[in-house]
């Protein structure tokens, strides 16, 4: 069945593709990217894997059946599609090793197998009475894995790591785990903190981040929640889409529970919607606040969307701005608020 569908797509689909208007082709590609939760470069690697895997399975099937049959009679053509169907998934998985898409195809073939053959258990919903205790036990056994994105010294990252290591709240330390530090600066202080704490790191580059959002790498680490803590790049749309709250993460299960995203949040060193947007970070924010004669400033923890500092506000805390404040003294006040409130707010969101 899989092979026949693939044959229709790559065979008859070729003519359809040529006739289809450019805007229609773009929409078709975008729909697949959204369905698969992948960026542009990964999408084309997946399509290449489909094509090469299909070609390989066809050649293998013909070669093996030519050894078994003396002529292409009715028996040959009866066995051919069945044998091809068996070979196709193995051929695609083999090719996916070389294209770097093995995890995608492992999940994809698993989902297709579940739909076609009923693999993966009953789809009937359990009764309310029996479901409640199971959810409770899974929740305590499977921590929520979070990734911290940072570009600098990592003072907020350290506070969050230590909070969920047990130094902050015992009730949440077993339910949340900082599993990955993502950084865009090779010598940033946050990388030293990650090494000290034994946390894996991912060093990213701008072009790949814009194209793919490193969604596959985050899924490979089972990351469910992303925290921006002094991260200076704009989050690309592909990553925002992949980590909308409730979005499935690669169809995976964690301790029998569906693995879903819980969103992306950021902390901003001002009281949004004021003093936010492109270019407003660090000392630039504090300089603008003082220059405007503001009497108070503070922090804003908010959801991340496709635009700078425009996501829904989750939490704000304020501090006084006095006449002799400098950008440095105001920064110290803001850092104090961040260190006090950021980790507990994350715990409340994930609790």
Burial of 310 (0-12, 13-18, 19+ CB in 10 A): middle
CB 264 within 8 Å of CB 231:
no
Q: What is the distance between the alpha carbons of residues 222 and 202, in angstroms, rounded to a whole number? A: 14
Which residue, 25, 23, 43, is CA-closest to 242? 43
Radius of gyration of the chain from its Cα atoms, rounded to whole angstroms: 25
Report which secondary-structure segment, H or E, holds 178.
Answer: strand 176-183
What is the DSSP-derived secondary structure letter of residue 255?
Answer: T
Burial of 327 (0-12, 13-18, 19+ CB in 10 A): middle
Residue 286 appears among annotated catalytic residues: no
84 CB-near residues (< 8 Å, 6+ apart): 3, 57, 58, 61
CA torsion sign, 108 to 111 to 117 to 121? positive
Q: Where are the alpha helices (DSSP H) in the chain?
A: 2-7, 13-19, 22-36, 40-68, 74-99, 102-117, 128-141, 155-162, 170-173, 189-197, 206-212, 215-220, 237-242, 283-291, 327-350
Catalytic member of 145, 268, 286, 302: 268
Cα distance between residue 175 and residue 123, in whole Å: 27
Residue recorded with tokens 């006084």: 320
List active site positions: 268
């Amino acid at each position: 069945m899989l092979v026949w569908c693939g044959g229709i797509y790559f065979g008859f689909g070729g003519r359809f593709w040529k006739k289809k208007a450019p805007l229609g082709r773009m929409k078709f590609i975008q729909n697949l990217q959204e369905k698969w939760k992948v960026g542009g470069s990964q999408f084309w690697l997946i399509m290449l894997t489909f094509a090469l895997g299909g070609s390989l399975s066809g050649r293998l099937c013909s070669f093996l059946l030519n050894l078994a049959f003396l002529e292409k009679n009715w028996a040959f053509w009866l066995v051919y599609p069945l044998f091809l169907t068996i070979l196709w998934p193995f051929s695609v998985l083999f090719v996916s090793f070389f294209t770097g898409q093995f995890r995608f195809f492992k999940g994809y073939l698993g989902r297709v197998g579940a739909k076609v053959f009923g693999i993966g258990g009953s789809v009937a919903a359990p009764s309310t009475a029996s479901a409640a205790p199971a959810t409770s036990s899974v929740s305590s056994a499977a921590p929520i894995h979070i990734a911290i994105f940072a570009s600098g010294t990592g003072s907020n990252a350290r506070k969050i790591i230590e909070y969920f290591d047990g130094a902050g709240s015992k009730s949440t330390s077993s339910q949340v785990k900082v599993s990955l530090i993502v950084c865009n600066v090779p010598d940033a202080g946050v990388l030293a903190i990650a090494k000290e704490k034994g946390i894996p790191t991912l060093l990213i580059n701008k072009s790949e981040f814009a194209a793919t959002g490193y969604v596959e790498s985050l899924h490979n680490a089972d990351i469910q929640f992303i925290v921006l803590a002094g991260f200076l790049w704009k989050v690309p749309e592909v990553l925002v889409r992949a980590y909308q709250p409730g979005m499935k993460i690669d169809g995976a299960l964690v301790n029998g529970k569906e693995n879903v995203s819980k969103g992306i949040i950021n902390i901003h060193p001002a009281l949004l919607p004021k003093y936010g947007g492109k270019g407003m970070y660090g000392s630039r924010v504090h300089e603008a606040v003082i220059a405007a004669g503001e009497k108070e400033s503070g922090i804003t923890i908010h959801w991340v969307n496709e635009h700078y500092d425009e996501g829904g506000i989750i939490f704000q805390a304020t501090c006084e701005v006095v006449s002799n404040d400098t950008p440095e003294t105001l920064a110290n006040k803001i850092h104090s608020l961040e260190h006090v409130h950021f980790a507990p707010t994350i715990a409340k969101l994930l609790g």
